[in-house]
Amino acid sequence: MTIKLHNTLTSRLEEFIPNQPGKVDFYVCGPTVYDYIHLGNARAFIVFDVLRRFFTYSGYEVKYVMNLTDVDDKIIQRAQKDGTPASVVGEKFSKALFEDFAGLGVQRADVHPTATESMDQIIVLIQDLIAKGFAYVVDSDVFFEVDKFPEYGKLSGKKLDQLQVGARIEVDSRKKNPLDFSLWKSQKPGEPAWDSPWGPGRPGWHIECSAMSMQHLGQSFDIHAGGVDLVFPHHENEIAQSECVTGKPFAKYWLHNGFLNIDGDKMSKSLGNFRTVREVLTKYPGVVLRMFFLQKHYRSPIDLTEAGLHAAVSASERLRTFYAKLSERLEGSAASGESVSDLEAYKVFASAKQELVSAMSDDMNTPAATARLFDIVREANKFLAEEELSETDLQVLHAVKADVEGFDSFFGVIGEAIPDDNSALVGALVETLIDVREALRNKKEWALADQIRDRLQESGIVLEDAASGTGWRKK
């Protein structure tokens, strides 16, 4: 079946035709590791995790790359605030990210490159842009010259002159055009820096993603994805830099997921409705959050409400109960291995399966696809309500179970038994105990503080005190 995707670059629904038949090269912009990820981040990581896994289900070989931005203004600000090196901030929140991924059931990418590891490639790319006349050096800074790329604005559908009028960009008189953006920023006092031909400094955010995506997926690759807030300027700038340097089309399909609102408002720290993933995971397991996000099309805005989460809880419970009952009923009987497609009793399941897959293939229409999944549950429950099941019925149920497991290989809403995956909760609890221990130590309550450390040690958690604060690891 062909898969159709809405391409932001053409504003159209397009048939997905990969550069290499049967293969998908897929890049997703990862987070800046300066804080715990929030629910808006989680939406992007979940929906593209589902798409990645749906490609695999559909027989594609997927190479999935997600960067971690570990060099950025936000990290430097956080490090200065916390009085720790930027590298410590980056390491702490990268580790937290993977704990949150585990909690959300988001599979790790094949590669998670970081900006610090990719510094050589980034510098080469900037040198190349300068040599080809697309970038210029002022003092020890390097800027990309947007006027040199006539197609600038093609992703966001904006024209250069419109952008200039609307641009809320800090005025830097050294720029030829206010829209020119930084490729390399010279070091300011107290900032981390890397050596470069232009002096010590650090790369701009956009060039990091161009370098990391092309390093791992080649100059032209299939899919580049992220939240809709990244369309401009981040993705627009990535296209400009990459296509100027290679002279080739960069990513073919640009996918963007919609915003997340909380009770009708934009989520923001100033509104006090900011929700980190680990905070929400203490109340709702990852399978519930996945179910919540899948019940809305990925490109539409989604409103997070308690009512919506409760609906996801009951939907998720219904599925898990069904799957447990089905597995129990089939215990002791084996699938015959013969095709059930001709059986009359399987026909209703076969057509629901086909509709589910075609909904997924239609720009990942997860609301329609999950509705078909519940149709299957309803039909199968009719069988499970019977006291006696014929051999044919059992064969149909075996086929249904295999189908449902196939669907869950991309939805990830049934999942493993939840207690196996409490890493985010464990992390949050340990962090809380570390804070309490710190408060006790400040009050010179040494015995109690030591008791916390020892009891954690007995449970297999080792605390490590350092100048920058206390970290922890499992034994």
210 contacts 242 by C-beta, under 8 angstroms: yes
Nearer to Zn ion, 122 or 304 (CB): 122
Distance CA 369, CA 366 (A): 5
Which parts of 208-237 interact with Zn ion (CB under 5 A)? 209
Nearer to Zn ion, 119 or 312 (CB): 119
Distance CA 187, CA 193 (A): 6
Minimum separation from the CB atom of position 33 to Zn ion (A) = 13
Minimum separation from the CB atom of position 234 to Zn ion (A) = 6
Nearer to Zn ion, 207 or 456 (CB): 207
Distance CA 96, CA 360 (A): 31
Nearer to Zn ion, 126 or 430 (CB): 126
Of the candidates 212, 203, 210, the one whose C-alpha atom is nearest the C-alpha of residue 244 is: 210
Minimum separation from the CB atom of position 449 to Zn ion (A) = 42
Stretch that binds Zn ion, among 25-33, 133-141, 279-287, 446-454 (CB under 5 A): 25-33
Stretch that binds Zn ion, among 12-20, 22-30, 363-371, 372-380 (CB under 5 A): 22-30
Nearer to Zn ion, 67 or 316 (CB): 67
Task: Select from 3, 24, 28, 29 the one that contacts Zn ion (CB under 5 A).
Answer: 29
Distance CA 350, CA 362 (A): 18
212 contacts 115 by C-beta, under 8 angstroms: yes
Cα–Cα–Cα angle for 58, 257, 320, rounded to 5 degrees: 55
Stretch that binds Zn ion, among 27-35, 52-60, 139-147, 171-179 (CB under 5 A): 27-35
- Examine residue 3 and tell whether it contacts Zn ion (CB under 5 A): no
32 contacts 66 by C-beta, under 8 angstroms: no
Minimum separation from the CB atom of position 67 to Zn ion (A) = 6
Residue 419's Cβ-count burial label (10 Å; 0-12, 13-18, 19+) is exposed
Nearer to Zn ion, 122 or 319 (CB): 122
Nearer to Zn ion, 105 or 226 (CB): 226
Stretch that binds Zn ion, among 24-32, 262-270, 362-370, 420-428 (CB under 5 A): 24-32
* Assigned token pair, 460: 């297999």
How far is residue 352 from each of residues 119, 265, 289, 409, 411, measured CA to CA in Å?
49, 36, 24, 17, 16
Minimum separation from the CB atom of position 244 to Zn ion (A) = 17
Nearer to Zn ion, 29 or 399 (CB): 29
Rg of the chain over Cα atoms, rounded to whole angstroms, equals 25
* Assigned token pair, 465: 């005190």
Where do we find the tokens 């080792």?
462
Nearer to Zn ion, 209 or 360 (CB): 209
Minimum separation from the CB atom of position 90 to Zn ion (A) = 16
Per-position DSSP letters for 207-274, written without gaps between them: HHHHHHHHHHH-SSEEEEEEEGGGIIIIIHHHHHHHHHHHSS--EEEEEEEPPEEETTEE--TTTT--
Of the candidates 70, 63, 50, 68, the one whose C-alpha atom is nearest the C-alpha of residue 22 is: 63
Minimum separation from the CB atom of position 199 to Zn ion (A) = 25
Minimum separation from the CB atom of position 314 to Zn ion (A) = 36
What is the size of the binding site for Zn ion (CB under 5 A)? 2
Nearer to Zn ion, 227 or 412 (CB): 227
Distance CA 132, CA 267 (A): 42
For residues 183 to 212, the per-residue mask of contacts with Zn ion, x marking binding by CB under 5 A and - elsewhere, is --------------------------x---
Minimum separation from the CB atom of position 387 to Zn ion (A) = 57
Minimum separation from the CB atom of position 235 to Zn ion (A) = 7
- Which residues sit at the interface with Zn ion, rule CB under 5 A? 29, 209
